[in-house]
Structure 1
Amino acid sequence: MFSLTRVIAHNIRNARTKFTLPELAYNYKALEPIISGEIMEIHHTKHHQAYITNYNAAEEKLKVAVEKGDASAIIALQGALRFNGGGHINHSIFWNNLTPESTKPSAEMNSAIEASFGSFEKMVQLLSAVSVGVQGSGWGWLGYDKNEGKIKAVACANQDPLQATTGLIPLLGIDVWEHAYYLQYRNVRADYVKSIFDVINWNDVSERLRKAKE
């Protein structure tokens, strides 16, 4: 679970530069017609940037609260750190999970998918169902369970980060917040989820699995 103690320890140990908005490896229109350039630009420069701005502000407040020994303020900041920090983590994965190029899962990824789900098609069906079924806002994920050696399809609410919430190592995330698709797909989330598989960067997903298994 998301640990307040870890958050505090992290902030005390890491006197580092603030989070900044990562650059995309492709231009905003590169994923069209699957995801419009307008959506990508707003999503990246407005929504992701807002998570970063708010996280950095909360972290500064936490630093002051820790220095003052203000336990009430420290506790009160946990929600902002979780939400905005999770938003930054999730979106940083999401951008790299997407590509305008045609890619395929590695042999290792294919084997893991077949062992975990039975087939690639069944994995897509399950991940799609999990993603479409999120109530309100959240994410559908493929995550690697290091203990069981399997890939699992799960949902996380809001901006809860997968690993801190479930212990699964994130491989592939599908953002099903309305800001990720509404301008183009309106309220038909299922069409957006179905289409997004055409721009998944399986090279990135496969590399994440390789690193997760180390």
Structure 2
Amino acid sequence: MFKLRTLPFAEIPGFVSKETCEFHYGKHHQTYVNNLNNLIAGGEFEGKSLFEIVTKAQGGIFNNAAQVYNHDFYWDCITPNASARSAELEEALNANFGSVDKFKETFLNAATTLFGSGWCWLVYNNGKLEIKQTSNAQTPVTEGLIPLLVVDVWEHAYYIDHRNARPAYLEKFFSHINWEFVSKSLEWAKKEGINSINSYMKSLHA
């Protein structure tokens, strides 16, 4: 049985309020966990790891399993504390996007223009960094891509604090990225490849 992970902060003042945490984490994220447990009970995916379910399931089971992972990862990508990029990450952003500022512009534009509900990702793909948009519960993991950073652009992620102003939410998001986590994710991706995702999921859902 899967359990809701621990939220790594109580709030992020000016970006993610306690009320947003109560609804986004305590209700939406919890519901995906509950739904997943109910859907796999007595079936072929009962007792399987989250990684196995995300990469092999379809339909409602996939949707809820992927949303558990997508949210797990999102919470680790943001922080109320100052954080720094590793030299390795800085070099990779400069090499693939021209500069950190250009990466910010490209990433926020992709997140702003994603139609409807979904996610915007920075992924590691065979030595390159790429920006990837996914709709609804879709995740780059199913394409063999390794997430390094994600922003949630479902309205429930930002409506309480920012109403319908997605660009304002995204600007705040960028100023609260947990660069230490993103840097570690790049390090793990280079060392372990796709297994780094499995290791991350197991660290939260043993």
TM-score by length of 1: 0.81
3-state SS of paired residue (2:41): helix
Q: Which amino acid aligns with 1:151?
A: L
State the match for 2:200 in structure 1: none
What aligned pairs does 1:1-214 form with structure 2 within 5 A after superposition? 18-27=1-10, 29=11, 31-63=12-44, 78-145=58-125, 147=126, 149-164=127-142, 166-214=143-191
Structure 1 residue 64, shift from structure 2 partner = 9.1
Does structure 1 conserve the Cα–Cα contact (< 8 Å) formed by 2:119 and 2:150? yes
3-state SS of paired residue (1:91): helix
Between Structure 1 and Structure 2, whose CA radius of gyration is higher? Answer: 1
**CA gap 1:64/1:108 in 2 versus in 1, 3 angstroms:** closer
Structure-2 separation of matches of 1:116 and 1:60: 44
Q: Which amino acid aligns with 2:30?
A: Q
3-state SS of paired residue (2:119): strand
Structure-1 separation of matches of 2:89 and 2:45: 45
Aligned residues: 181
**CA gap 1:114/1:61 in 2 versus in 1, 3 angstroms:** same
Structure 1 residue 56, shift from structure 2 partner = 1.1
**CA gap 1:56/1:189 in 2 versus in 1, 3 angstroms:** same
Structure 1 residue 62, shift from structure 2 partner = 2.7
Structure-2 separation of matches of 1:196 and 1:78: 31
Structure 1 residue 61, shift from structure 2 partner = 4.8
3-state SS of paired residue (1:144): strand
Structure 1 residue 167, shift from structure 2 partner = 2.2
Structure-2 separation of matches of 1:112 and 1:150: 8
Structure 1 residue 97, shift from structure 2 partner = 0.8
Q: Which amino acid aligns with 1:157?
A: S
1:56-110 per-residue CA deviation (whole Å, 9 max, x = no partner) reads 1111153399xxxxxxxxxxx8211111011001011111111111012100000
**CA gap 1:107/1:54 in 2 versus in 1, 3 angstroms:** same
**CA gap 1:190/1:61 in 2 versus in 1, 3 angstroms:** farther
1:87-145 per-residue CA deviation (whole Å, 9 max, x = no partner) reads 00101111111111101210000001111111001111111011111111000000000
3-state SS of paired residue (1:156): strand
TM-score by length of 2: 0.84
Q: Which amino acid aligns with 1:182?
A: Y
